[in-house]
Amino acid sequence: MLYPQLTASRMLISLDGFWQFAADHHNDGEEQGWHTGLQSDREIAVPASWNEQYQDLMYFFETGWYEREVEIPQHAQSEKIWLRVGAANYLSTLWVNGIEVGQHEGGHLPFVFEITEFIKFDRPNRITIRVDARIMPDRLPPGAVPEDEMIIGFKGQYPSNYYDFFPYGGINRPVLLFTTPDSYIQNIHTSTKLSGSDGEVNVRITMKNKISGTCRVSIRGTDSSLNRKLTANEADVEIEGCLRVSQARLWCPEDPFLYELEVQLMDDQGAMVDQYVQKFGIRTVVIEGTKLLLNGKPLFLTGFGMHEDFPVLGKGVHPAVLTKDFNLLDWIGANSIRTSHYPYSDEFLHYADRKGLLVIGETPFVGFVRSHYQGNAIRDKAQRVITEMVERDINHPCIIAWSLANEGDTFVPEADAFYKSLYDHAKSLDDSRPITIINCLDVEEDVALKHYDFVSINRYYGWYEQAGRLDEGCRVLDAKLDRCYELLGKPVMITEFGADAVAGVHVDPPELFSEEYQAEMTCRQYEIIRSKPYTIGAHVWSFADFKTSQTPSRVVVNRKGIFTRDRQPKLAAHKLKELWKQ
């Protein structure tokens, strides 16, 4: 469903702020009737992870309960009323006034429920959200994985998630209450292509309709429009058409221009019933030979993998952090990021659209293990999450590719059909962007990469292998890149490379964990990657230090950040700036 918007026909109320909170240590709060009234004397901030707000919650990975009251304006009685949670990790259940409304699985995408029938207009309404953050093998991403199924590290770490970032629990993105008319615009899908200097904008609009009237579609600032007559009581109306923009202004990092598609639902008397404005950019992205082309021009991606991670907030979205991060990306000369290892917030992507940051959107499929290939349960869950991600993000011009998995077990025969099914499913939803998955081991035995549009690999030669032997690590990287292209014959992107550095540690000659070693390794390996005619990008791991589970290989946080966790530059940041802003 469309991102909530305040318009002439829609009301929007933020429920961010302080909520009552209770930790359900035995996961039996529903049996105790917590959904009918939470007995709690503790307040907690939303959006933000619960772990860093209270010391006793840092390693709490059970179920948390949130509650607050809200009064709905009387004039909303004729409207549909909806509640949207941007993301809550991991399994969420919503009650309104003690009545269960619905449940959503998944920690990194929004869920929306209509709550009209549960609302009272003569009293405050109690909103209750239960968030189950338990770590389990069948969740995406998984945890508590048996050691005999692991293909890489994470043995014995605490907590026992099978991925290298902290499994923050809680409501991490905004909670919004909004209204729509009874007849309303439900979804808008745009895709663009070029015809000479003109842009062709294909639109598909879905409405829920109970009136006779007209749907008007136009691009503001142009003479492009289309109308469709509507008959009363059409339960699901879908309008498709193509709008042409002459002398189109193309979206790109240098000029991230956004057009506005206005959709209006009018009744027979010409009065507006519903209105929505969808921003979009006119641009094309294709793989052609060994090149990635944006608007027909070759593009090399410089930037980072990064995390939604900040002190105290955990994975909570905050506009000041977004502003700081985008400022630093611009300062260093990065043109792109990958949303490693899950879809990022709507707010991040809206900002990227406006700022011209190129984004590879990634699913939460990190740490796939062999048992996931047995039966259809995980495949079906994976396809559902792909659908949710693509439907939410398809209109964002900043997203130039999809990544469907990171560092899964792609070396067993069962992975072949599994990853082919994910590719086919994603392509059926969006054939306008290239699709990849990310490999972390030698490609010789990989059975999945061949199905994808370009090859993405994570490589740490000189760190996890050839540790401290940077010359040898660089030679291995050079040879392995050539071997990868020789075997697969597709464009190659290095989605992760880098080294840990403890800020303030300086050693000459450079040694592991020093700022000098990180800076030299990152810059030398970037230049090797950039020199290859078949590479399309190099993303350093990572943008900033981030919190992980406790393990002997991590000193409180993962220190591969070019910036510290509180966003101060290390030596490597200054060196990369010199390379990327030449």
Residue 495: strand, helix, or coil: strand
* Sole residue written with tokens 């389990």: 136
In tens, the pLDDT along 501-521 reads: 999 999 999 999 999 999 999
**Short-list 283, 189, 289, 204, CA closest to 245:** 283
**Whether residue 147 has pLDDT greater than 80:** no
pTM more than 0.85: yes
- Percent of the chain clearing pLDDT 70 (strictly above): 100
3-class secondary structure, 163: coil
Residue 523: per-residue pLDDT: 98
At 538, which helix (H) or strand (E)? Answer: strand 535-541
pLDDT at 401: 98
In a 13 Å sphere around the CA of 450, the CA atoms on its Cβ side amount to: 11
Could you tell me the two tokens for 553?
């290989």
Q: Annotated catalytic sites, by residue? A: 407, 496
Mean pLDDT, the chain, rounded, equals: 96
The SS3 of residue 387 is helix
pLDDT score, position 151: 72
Strand order across the beta sheet in which 111-114 lies: 12-14, 175-180, 80-85, 111-114
Mean pLDDT for the stretch of residues 1-19: 96
In the chain, what is the greatest distance between 2 CA atoms, to the nearest angstrom? 79
User: Which carries the bigger pLDDT value, residue 557 or residue 367?
Assistant: 557
pLDDT > 90? residue 569: yes
For range 356-374, the mean pLDDT: 92
pLDDT, tens only, 100-109: 999 999 999 9
Bridge pairing between strands 80-85 and 175-180: antiparallel
Peptide bond into 47 cis (omega under 30): yes
For range 148-172, the mean pLDDT: 87
Q: Is residue 342 within 8 Å of residue 364, measured between CB atoms?
A: yes
Spatial separation of the C-alpha atoms in residues 29 and 31, rounded to whole Å: 5
| Domains contained in the chain, CATH given | 12-133+169-180 (2.60.120.260), 184-280 (2.60.40.10), 285-580 (3.20.20.80)
Name which residue leads in pLDDT, 528 or 40.
Answer: 528
